[in-house]
Chains A and B, each alone.
Chain A
Amino acid sequence: MARGKLGTRHGAKTMTIQIRQENLIDGATGPWEVIIGLEVHAQVTSKSKLFSGASTEFGGEPNSHVSLVDAAMPGMLPVINEECVRQAIRTGLGLKAEINLYSVFDRKNYFYPDLPQGYQISQYKYPIVGAGVVTVDMKDGYSVEVGIERVHLEQDAGKSLHDQHAEFSFVDLNRSGVALMEIVSRPDLRSSEEAKAYVTKLRTILRYLGTCDGNMEQGSLRADVNVSVRKLGAPLGTRCEIKNVNSIRFIGQAIDVEARRQIAILEEGGSIDQETRLFDPKSGQTRSMRSKEEAHDYRYFPDPDLLPLELTQGYVDAIAKNLPELPDQKKARFIRDFALSVYDAGVLVADKENADYFETVAKGRDPKLAANWVTGDLFGVLNRLGKGIDESPVRADHLGELIDLISGGVISGRIAKDVFEIMVETGEAPGRIVDERGLKQVTDTGAIEKAVDEVIAANPKQVEQVRLKPQTLGWFVGQVMKATGGKANPAALNAILKERLGLGE
């Protein structure tokens, strides 16, 4: 029987992490280093639950997506959903992790009204996914290799509502039994910025893989954040765990405030209690969850209702073969094939939909121009409208057509900006807009000459001046452009102006 190694610490992977001055927090007694590790709970994308055939759909009527298994009625037995197993394997492969061909489901025992079984089915000693790595590119241009310790499958709990009644809590089990992946990082992060970038990157990878929708508002992605501080070169400090932080911004805030809290205590000669804390976004503080302390005695044991999960290498290899292109690969390809800057490529691949849109626009066209339009003009508009790329008023093929119109000399770059604005408002194709509104560039030299002559005749003073100071030519360009509604071909206009004003090349 193939068996995962128990408790391997993957010591060989441990590397010294370079200390960056900008990550240190200045205390009264000198600089402090912050050590962060995250446990991210990601809801597995599947139609039905991990151990029952009830729907995973978000927002159903109370207790309508609940089977007798999820409600833990006596005699009910769990049967595992093969798709959830496949998704966990895909995730493991996407995190460049080892897939354990032998894993075991355990019972994690605790009592809470939204946990009808009295235990959560989870994996403890033998998780399905072992050590992996996520490369996080930081804004400042450096990268962090964040070690993944493990990924295991487990059940989500139900939901308690406390604001419906003064004396009672209301419990809805629709989430009960939905499959989660707990993705445990090594303590390789050294600032809130790095932690935020890590979760962002992890979310991107999961969305590329299609194994978690990454929807943080609906709770599909939540993090427990472990934070400790130490003086440079000192051994690791005592850590606190901040539970259930449900937005990337809050993860950053929680880390900063928790690190400062710990530093303040230590600098006053106190010590840190290892405990579970809660981040309250309203007060911007973390506070102790004392009730959780005793519950830490979970008395794990193998679930007698479930046999060990055994996989074959062939099954894993077949899944690996069908893995989609991942963000790092796509980024490398964009840099290589489209000669994009590292920054542009990074921005574009952060969201798969953005990357797909860009590829449609860039196909067969100048990629730099396409990148500028997508990351500059289009993202600007989407930001302004508060819309995602899937709701973009401008279709990718339309934006491509607009670039063709510029490259083909049909419209000038300046007019293109106006056409783009009209596209945003109307959703129409640029070719049609240009035709209907007569925005085609005037390359007919006769028409441009006429406009130039009129401007020269009307402005004798400026003509005097431009002969002494040729750099004021721009003023004439502007006047003629105004007269032609911006449609004059810039190159033709420049040539004619210089000729008429007697300015040599």
Chain B
Amino acid sequence: MKVDEATVRHVARLARIKVSGQEAQSLQRELSAILDWVEQLDAVDTNGVEPMTRVEAMALPQRSDAVTDGGIPDQIVKNAPLTEDHFFVVPKVVE
């Protein structure tokens, strides 16, 4: 599957990754190669086969509704480059 440069740029933009002109061209080749490789799976006939959601037969684990966590604002913001009064402080994002 051939990935064009516009698609590379669109995906990079969605992933918030800055991509230079040269990088875009090499990424175009790399992504195309990856998709080609995965495309081999198309050779398998999966008609009527349920998608596999688990290796072992188990159900979604559920928990009861109780407050068992939180109250650790120091730890929550500990790694943040900038904080104030336990808020994360980030460059202004406003419409």
Listed in ascending order, the chain A residues whose CB lies under 8 Å from chain B are: 1, 3, 46-48, 52-55, 61-69, 71, 79-85, 109, 111-113, 160-162, 164-173, 278, 289, 291, 294, 297, 299, 302, 306-310
Contacts and interface: CB of A to CB of B under 8 A. Distances in A.
11 contacts: A46-B65, A68-B72, A80-B61, A82-B62, A164-B87, A168-B82, A168-B91, A172-B87, A291-B95, A294-B13, A307-B59
Nearest to A1: B50
Contact of B73 (A46, A66, A160): A66
- State the majority secondary structure of interface residues on B: loop
B53 interface: yes
Nearest to B59: A310
B69 interface: yes
B45 to A, nearest CB: 20
A164 B13 CA distance: 29
Nearest to A174: B70
B14 A294 contact: yes
- State the majority secondary structure of interface residues on A: loop
B31 to A, nearest CB: 15
Nearest to A86: B65
A409 to B, nearest CB: 54
Contacts of B68: 48, 53
Nearest to A116: B88
Nearest to B51: A302
Given A109-B14, A111-B16, A160-B93, A67 B70 contact: yes
Given A62-B73, A71-B76, A171 B65 contact: no
A63 B65 contact: no
Contacts of A68: 69, 72, 75-76
Report the contact-size class of chain B (Cβ under 8 Å from the partner).
35 or more
Given A1-B50, A79-B61, A278-B95, A170 B14 contact: no
Nearest to A287: B95
A307 B58 contact: yes
B63 A171 contact: no
Contacts of A80: 60-63
Contacts of B95: 278, 289, 291
A68 B73 CA distance: 10
B67 A62 contact: no
Nearest to A64: B73
A162 B14 contact: no
A53 B66 contact: yes
B70 A306 contact: no
Given A63-B77, A66-B76, A161 B87 contact: yes
Contacts of B63: 53, 79-82
A66 B54 CA distance: 30
B46 interface: no
B69 A53 contact: yes
Given A48-B68, A294-B14, A297-B14, A306 B86 contact: no
B70 A62 contact: no
Contact of A48 (B65, B84, B88, B92): B65
A85 B86 contact: no
A81 B62 contact: yes
A291 B87 CA distance: 25
A297 B13 CA distance: 11
A173 B76 contact: yes
A308 B60 contact: yes
Contacts of A291: 95
A166 B93 CA distance: 11
Contact of B89 (A3, A168, A297, A302): A168
Given A55-B70, A62-B85, A169 B60 contact: no
Contacts of A112: 93
